[in-house]
Structure formats: C-alpha cells, structure tokens
Copies of this chain bind each other. A is one copy, B any other.
Amino acid sequence: MDEPHIAIIGCGAGGGTAAQFARKTNRKTQITIFEQSPYAQYSRCGLPYVISGAIPSVDHLLEFSKEWFAKEHITVNLETTVESIDLASRTITSVHHGQRAQHPFDRLILATGSRPMIPPIQGIPKEGPLPANVFCLRSIDDAVLIQHALQRSKRACIVGAGFIGLELAEALTEKGLTVTLVEALPNILASSLDNDLSEQVAATFPKSVTILLNHFVTAITPNPQGITVRIKDRASNAESNFETDVVVLATGTRPEVRLAKALGCVIGPTGGIAVDNHAQTSIPEVYAVGDCTEYKDFVTGEPVCIGLGTIAVRQGITAGINAAGGQYEMPPGVLLSRTSTFFGTQIAAVGPLLSPQYPRALVHGKIIGSSLPTYFPGGTPITMKVVAEEESGRIVAAQAMGSNASQRVNVFACAILQETTVDALQKLETTYAPPIAPILDVITLACDVVQLKRLRKKRER
C-alpha cells in the first residue's frame, strides 16, 4: 500500500505540530505544508514580548524553519495561498507569486487559523489594509510595523482588553508610552475571568494606563499631530475624543473557514470548523486544528471556538497522528487552561465562565491567601477562586491571581479532567515547605470555602 500524502494548509502552531506528529507516526508518508506568509512555524503568542523588548527580535520567535522541516522531509511552501481544493480528484490548487500549481493529496489538515475581527469604526475599512498608524497584532509583520511606529509615538490607544490587549498595554508601557485601553465590555479580561478577579487585576495597573470600560471606539481621524479617537459611553451614549499616536485593534479574531466551507465541512454555531475528538471534520480524512476550529467545552459540552495555542498544538498532535495512520484521541472536550502576566501579576484560569444558563446550581468559593506561611517573610497575596456544582461537588472551573497562579491552576485542570469533587481535592496533600508554600495552600483553602458553602446550603434545604 502506498503511504498517504498529507497536505496541511497553514504552518502555525496547529499545522506545524500536525506535520511533526504525522512524521513521527509515519516515516514514509509525504507531507506538504502550504503557508500564505513568508514564515514557517513561529510563536504568535510571543509577539507582544518582541514589542516590549523581552524577546530581542521577531527572528527569535521562529520555532521551526522551512529548513528544519526539510530535514524531516516535510515540504513547506511559503508565500503560497491555497486557492481551492477539489475533494473529488483530491487536488489542491495553490498560488505562489502569481503562479498557479496543482498538488495531489490523500488526507488534508486545515490549519487556516483566524483573522482579526475589525470592529465597525469610522475611518477603518472592514476589509483591506489598515490606515496609517492603526495596527492589529496577529503576525510577525504586524509586530515589525508596530515596532517601527513606536519610534515616533508617545501615546497609544489599544482597543480591546483581552489577553493580547493587556499584554500589549504592558509592552507599550515598558517602551515608555502612555496607554489608553478602550473596552466595550464592563470589565477587562471579560472572556477569561469573573468580574471580581478582573477588577482585582485592573487595580494593579500603573497610572500610565487608562482603562475606559463600557466604551466603544466609534471613529478615528488622522490629524497632523496624530490620531483623534472618538469614543462612546455605552451607558449614557455620550461621545468624547482623545488624542493618540498609534491605535492597536485587539478586538479578537474570527475563524478563517473559507476553504472548509467550500469543501462542505460543517461549520459550527461559533463560526469554527466543527471537529471531533480525532480532530476530524465532518468529512472523513479531512482534519482541522487550531483557531479555525470549534470543539466541545469539557464541562458544559457546548461548542467553543478554539483560540488558544495550547489547544491548537494538542489538536495538531491528534490530527497529525491520525492522518498518518495512527490512533490518538483528544479528551472529550477542552478545559481552556489559560494564563498570562500583566505588570508583574500572574493570572490563570481553567474551565468555562459559567453563565446562569448552566443547568446545575453552582457554588463559588474565593480566598485571598499568601504564597508562603505567615511566619515566613516575603509571601505575596494569591487570590484563588473555585467553582463546583452544588449537588455533586464536581469542580468545574478555577481562577487565580498572584504567585504561581498558572501551576496552581494546572492542579485544578487535572481535577476537572478527572471529574474530581471539591471534597476530594480539599483533602489533597499539597507540597509544603516554609520558603515555598504554606501547609494549607490556597488550593486547599478555596476548596474549603466551597465545601463549607455546600454544607450550609445542604442544611438550609
């Protein structure tokens, strides 16, 4: 039997990883990647840190070069757009510098990523190039352009206070700019943290960062000194202006599904390509990974749009192994483990933000503890929040802010994956040593709060 020829559209974290794991699974199969940009696999998440200067240059972000892939006998076609895919004849039509070409394939992995979502702002076209000094931060080229613009900038307006917006706010602050963050929602990080934690995080920001919540940017107008940003208060509808030098749009992304739609892949309710636990689309032998996909939330079972590199890589592993003839399954849903650090404060979360529509009653427990025993100097505060189902006690989400928030949240990620109850986790022997962690870690204390509330509610019933 001939080995299958695997074609991968997109060389981001998902596509590149898929190629690597297809190769690990099958040494003989032919693997071809098509990538629109001039760059092979690089870290998109590292872009804000190039702008801050923490990473010396964009070149450092390249994790696996075209040459690296070539050594693994993986062909990477850069600056190559896939125009169309014919499933009947299993042929890809690509365009490279205006030259059209046909490529046969047996199995397909779509890793087409996502496009920045451009909000309706007067002065910014929905499609096509952005105006001068207005940027997104999605690619190496974007980062280079922003870096260049910063040389003549003192003020920045960032639209959107999610992870990227806040990472960028820190980066620009480190470069000496004053930053105005404009966020349409009532809080920063609204899709990652509950309001109480978001407010705690916002309170740690320096004075050089102004946060305008519940505000839309309605228009931008270039002027000889910079850009006038017009904003609107969502509550009062009052409009006002401020001046800036650069505007960066960090208003989220939408899955790039043009090719998938044309193939007839089912697109899910979130707008992403629906995939299963084999990273397969609705069409056999057509896989999809990363930001262009949607998969199930582990806790709610509801479809969620994938926008995290962690998941892209894990889907890439899954699709790569399966496309190459192996057998690999994702867990039945995603945990959405996430972390970042802003102005010296680490935050992390796992599990969904649960809306009142969640079918079962929930109990939240929050504690502000210390990273160290009270008697050991140098402890710093940690906020830990745990959410569990009231009746079953099953842990469904956790959020943390402070020292080692990310690894503490990993404990809850494991707990959620194993459908652990809060009374079981409450009794976990956490590691303890005076210079490292207290005898009852905030992991334990937050579970204690949830458990006390559960018992109280039980008595009240």
Interface residues, chain A, with chain B CB atoms under 8 Å away: 13, 43, 45-46, 49, 54-56, 60-63, 308-311, 313-314, 330-331, 334-341, 346, 348, 350, 373-377, 404, 406-411, 413-415, 417-418, 420, 424-425, 427-437, 439-441, 443
Contact B341 A435 (CB under 8 A): yes
**A431 and B54 contact, Cβ closer than 8 Å, known pairs A13-B439, A373-B46:** no
Interface centre among A418, A429, A439, A440 (most CB of B within 10 A): A429
Residues of B close to A336: CB separation below 8 A? 429
Alpha-carbon gap, A290 to B377, bound state (A): 26
Contact A63 B417 (CB under 8 A): no
Residues of B close to A431: CB separation below 8 A? 310, 337-339, 348, 350, 406-407, 409-410, 413
Interface centre among A331, A410, A415, A420 (most CB of B within 10 A): A410
7 A-B pairs with C-beta separation under 8 A: A49-B435, A62-B375, A330-B427, A337-B429, A340-B436, A341-B435, A410-B411
Interface centre among A55, A435, A440 (most CB of B within 10 A): A435
Contact A413 B429 (CB under 8 A): yes
Residues of B close to A335: CB separation below 8 A? 428-429
A379 to chain B, nearest CB (A): 12
Contact B433 A340 (CB under 8 A): yes
Contact B314 A432 (CB under 8 A): no
**A414 and B425 contact, Cβ closer than 8 Å, known pairs A49-B434, A54-B376, A341-B436:** yes
**A376 and B427 contact, Cβ closer than 8 Å, known pairs A54-B435, A408-B407:** no
Alpha-carbon gap, A313 to B406, bound state (A): 26
**A407 and B414 contact, Cβ closer than 8 Å, known pairs A339-B436, A340-B433:** no
Residue of B nearest to A346 (CB): B436
